[in-house]
Structure 1
Amino acid sequence: MSDIPAWASRLRALRRHNLWTQREMAKRLADAADEHTRARLPERDSLIRMIKYWEAGTHRPKDPYPVLYSRAFGMDEEELFGTTAALARHDSTDALSQILREENPLTPYARRKGSRIGAETLADMSARVHGLRLADDVLAGLDLIQPAFRELGTAVRMFRDSAHTEEAGRDLLVIIGEFAQIAGWVAGDAGRADQAARTYKLGIGAAQDAGDGTLASYLIGSLAYQVSGGDDPGESVALAQAALDAAGTSAPPRARALCWDRLAWANARAGDAQATIRALGEADEALVRDFGGTEPAYLYWVDENELQIMKARAYTELRRPLRAVPLLTDVLSRYNPAHSRELALYLSWLAVALADANEPEESARVAARMLELSADVASDRTAQRARVVLHRLQRYRDVPQVRELLMAYG
């Protein structure tokens, strides 16, 4: 990395500092332009490619982009593109404190005129957010996105408009963070990545304001997972590490295990096998750690089976199918068939692992079940995985079972 110009490293570091994806960076540059300049900017996908080149130091931004960058980051152009060394790396606390710096929708009005929030209202809202989580076990993103964001909007308005004690305000911020996590997850499942990222950031701000490090780490880890499918795997690794830092060593076992799992997945996507395997081992150790307190309800789904599935997915991503296939086969043999989206997703990983293990007939059989399960599931995640499975099977198209599958599903 030493041959990358200081300004290129600086552009990348500042974007990550703000937890912006390259797609969001493109939007920020466009927003920083005046009407005349904006009309001359390229399409969003082309601008994202340009950002990738700039951050790699392949090309230096030309007019009008230096000015747009300086406006987006709120920095002097010479400071941003000068020849001095790259900015020092900010730690996760510094970076995360900037998430809502531009506009915080959780800022209460100076004079609250609404009704006072009581314990019963807070309990009802906690029950509703958990009900959304349970609904997500059996329904997909496009089925849940409207109720999820309706509930989140109600909680935010209640915090801003109502009168409440300091303790009730903190509890309400936690509820907003929990609503933001499930709403962000639902938006991601509906294929609305930018909306998911914005929602997670709202939740992170709420969790931080409430002083809840465990919830903040849960949201940051969710954001890390959301961006892991993007063009910059290192971004997901940085966010997953920030989630682990936010959790701290005293977080509940399931929270720590999930943070390590997210970090393992991010490293697998980045192709770092050694870091992946280390993180998977840390997740196992974290889950069995003694803990005398009560774990948050939103961690109910984190168990040995989920850790085993993540191991298998990571091994599949690293092209180690002989490790992945036995793990997935074992878990799927007892998986709840009512959770059709998750079952379809995990079957897709098994189909890919079998293809990588040179077992095309069995891979085609598993893929057929996956595609049948996901046919009526309104999930962008299952749709993407279906495309991955069919693409991976293309090299076996001369095998009768595979050829039949490809003809049936294109």
Structure 2
Amino acid sequence: MASSSQASRAVPNLAFRGLRGLRSPGEFAAAVRKAAREVGEQVSCDARYIGRVEAGEIRCPNYAYERVFLHMFPGLTLSDLGFTAREQVRGGRRRPHAPAHPFCPFDGNSDSDIDEESDVLRRAFMTSGSATVAAASLGFGLGSAPGRPGPGISGSVPDQRRVGEAEVSAVEEAVRRIRLLDDRHGADGLYRRAAQPLRAAYALLDAGTTARASTAGRLHAGAGELAISVGWLAHDSGRFDDARSHYAEALATARVAGDPALEAHAFCNTSFLARDAGRHREAVRSAQAGERAARQLASPRLLSLLSLRQAGGWAGLGERAGCEQSLSRAHSYFDRGASDADPEWMSFFAEPELEALQAQCWAALGEWSRAARHARRAAALQDRRFTRNLALYRAELAADLARAGAPDEAAEAGHQVLDLLDGVQSSRIQSMLSDTARVLLPQRRTEGVGAFLDRHAETLRRA
């Protein structure tokens, strides 16, 4: 939802409206999603998004939508589609009359690859002072009025104020922004800052004053997805107890709302966390529980990911047969392709992730050369814009090569990870790289290994 100042400046995008022709916004949105699948993107396009583009509220699409639109209309440029050049949209980052915020980690230069698509979204992440999702949408700080406090916070949402489209949209956009920032920068610098909008989202839920049932359902789903996203930031930055708590909160929200999609997501992440924490039996059981919830949906890709989570658990237990059976199911589901029922959060799950998760399974079973082949393919296939995953896949490759008896190649992969770490903060990746350095230490005299070890040590000293 655009602010009043944005709406007053918006110029309708008549060129884009013309391209829609006689199709309804919903029909056109379906065509956009279909085109996205054709080029390996996953966008959550709906009639509301099309309406915002046509109204001129979105002056330039993000990179995923840009690729999709140019695929749909070959030979046309963004200008032909009625959009403004990206460099003009970004300009000086701050509009002439916009207030300066001394600390706004989710805006401005913190992420140069995410476009300015929503004033609500930007305000939702202005954590200076008392601004949060609720404050941005409702126009007040959480501590400014009496009422029941949300979980873990002292502020509240006034009981007399109804939660509507603007508030729910702000929560949903908060989830998207966290995922995009994590894709590019990793979790370490984001976790603490993401906790505030999460508290605000649950304060909105606690108010219990949604205008209609559909809004309440979206708010529950949005709050649960936000809990999972914040849990993932905790997970990836090594805060396993915090992650477990956030995932449990999301699962409870799913159960209260009767939301199988959210339940499947919560169990999927719980399984991943359990595997990383060495609780491999729990990893298998959580993935199986997620699979039961996911069967109520029509998403083979979700079932594929849950099968891979089971495979990872079986591998950790040393159960090769169970691992191979789960991998076989994962491939079978994956080969059915994407569908409109695939959850938005699964945009990361494409062939690179499929390869990377297989690499992790074979590594757990001690088949390092086989693991390295999959990790190499994951890194080769990964979109270079998603820096965090590219660094992760290369770190996995370095670890596998080091143990497979290829120290020079491992050192080279390690250098590539170090090249990316200036823009990525992930304790998971740093831990993997340190482990690789320990494995390579006895081979310091090998050509290339010493240089990597020296560079890695210098990076640790600067940290």
Letter in 1 for 2:398: A
Task: Provide the residue aligned with 1:127 in structure 2.
Answer: 173
Residues 304 and 404 of structure 1: CA distance in aligned 2, closer, same or farther (over 3 Å): closer
TM-score w.r.t. the length of structure 1 is 0.68
For the 8 Å contact 1:130–1:297, the answer to whether it is kept is no
Task: Provide the residue aligned with 1:148 in structure 2.
Answer: 194
The one of 198, 205, 214 equivalent to 1:159 is: 205
1:50-75 C-alpha deviation (Å, 9 max, x unpaired): xxxxxxxxxxxxxxxxxxxxxxxxxx
1:281-301 C-alpha deviation (Å, 9 max, x unpaired): 111111233786532211112
> Which blocks of at least 5 consecutive residues in structure 1 are unaligned?
1-103
* 1:154, distance to aligned residue in structure 2 (A): 0.9
Task: Provide the residue aligned with 1:211 in structure 2.
Answer: 258
Please give the secondary structure, in 2, of the residue aligned with 1:198. helix
1:311-358 C-alpha deviation (Å, 9 max, x unpaired): 122222222233233333233224233322222221121112222322
For the 8 Å contact 2:298–2:341, the answer to whether it is kept is no
Q: Distance in 2 between matches of 1:317 and 1:347?
A: 17
1:93-149 C-alpha deviation (Å, 9 max, x unpaired): xxxxxxxxxxx959xxxx982311223432332223112211211122122213421
For the 8 Å contact 2:356–2:393, the answer to whether it is kept is yes
Task: Provide the residue aligned with 1:328 in structure 2.
Answer: 375
Matched, 1:300 2:350: no
For the 8 Å contact 1:208–1:216, the answer to whether it is kept is yes
* 1:190, distance to aligned residue in structure 2 (A): 2.4
Task: Provide the residue aligned with 1:357 in structure 2.
Answer: 404
Aligned residues: 303
Q: Distance in 1 between matches of 2:258 and 2:424?
A: 37
Letter in 1 for 2:181: A
Q: Distance in 2 between matches of 1:290 and 1:339?
A: 22
Task: Provide the residue aligned with 2:450 in structure 1.
Answer: 403
* 1:250, distance to aligned residue in structure 2 (A): 4.0
Please give the secondary structure, in 2, of the residue aligned with 1:300. helix
Q: Distance in 1 between matches of 2:236 and 2:276?
A: 13
* 1:238, distance to aligned residue in structure 2 (A): 2.3
* 1:251, distance to aligned residue in structure 2 (A): 4.2
* Bigger mean CA offset, 207-216 vs 372-381: 372-381
Residues 310 and 391 of structure 1: CA distance in aligned 2, closer, same or farther (over 3 Å): same
Q: Distance in 2 between matches of 1:356 and 1:200?
A: 33
**Structure possessing the higher relative contact order (Cα contacts under 8 Å, 6 or more residues apart):** 1
The one of 124, 128, 139 equivalent to 2:185 is: 139
Q: Distance in 2 between matches of 1:273 and 1:327?
A: 17
For the 8 Å contact 2:227–2:250, the answer to whether it is kept is yes
Q: Distance in 2 between matches of 1:406 and 1:298?
A: 37
Please give the secondary structure, in 2, of the residue aligned with 1:184. helix
* 1:265, distance to aligned residue in structure 2 (A): 1.4
Task: Provide the residue aligned with 2:279 in structure 1.
Answer: 232
Letter in 2 for 1:278: Q
> What is the root-mean-square deviation in Å for CA atoms of aligned residues?
2.5
Matched, 1:343 2:397: no
Residues 162 and 227 of structure 1: CA distance in aligned 2, closer, same or farther (over 3 Å): same
- Of Structure 1 and Structure 2, the greater helix share is in 1
Residues 322 and 342 of structure 1: CA distance in aligned 2, closer, same or farther (over 3 Å): same
For the 8 Å contact 1:129–1:175, the answer to whether it is kept is yes
Q: Distance in 1 between matches of 2:339 and 2:353?
A: 22
Aligned-residue identity in percent = 26
Letter in 2 for 1:198: S
Letter in 2 for 1:244: E
For the 8 Å contact 1:218–1:259, the answer to whether it is kept is no
For the 8 Å contact 2:392–2:429, the answer to whether it is kept is yes
Please give the secondary structure, in 2, of the residue aligned with 1:228. helix
Letter in 2 for 1:299: M
Residues 299 and 376 of structure 1: CA distance in aligned 2, closer, same or farther (over 3 Å): closer
Please give the secondary structure, in 1, of the residue aligned with 2:276. coil
Task: Provide the residue aligned with 1:377 in structure 2.
Answer: 424
Q: Distance in 2 between matches of 1:367 and 1:314?
A: 21
Matched, 1:286 2:336: no
State how 1:53-202 maps to structure 2 within 5 Å.
105=151, 113-164=159-210, 165-202=212-249
Letter in 1 for 2:170: D
Please give the secondary structure, in 2, of the residue aligned with 1:333. helix
Q: Distance in 2 between matches of 1:232 and 1:330?
A: 28
Q: Distance in 1 between matches of 2:339 and 2:276?
A: 36
State how 1:380-395 maps to structure 2 within 5 Å.
380-395=427-442
Please give the secondary structure, in 1, of the residue aligned with 2:173. helix
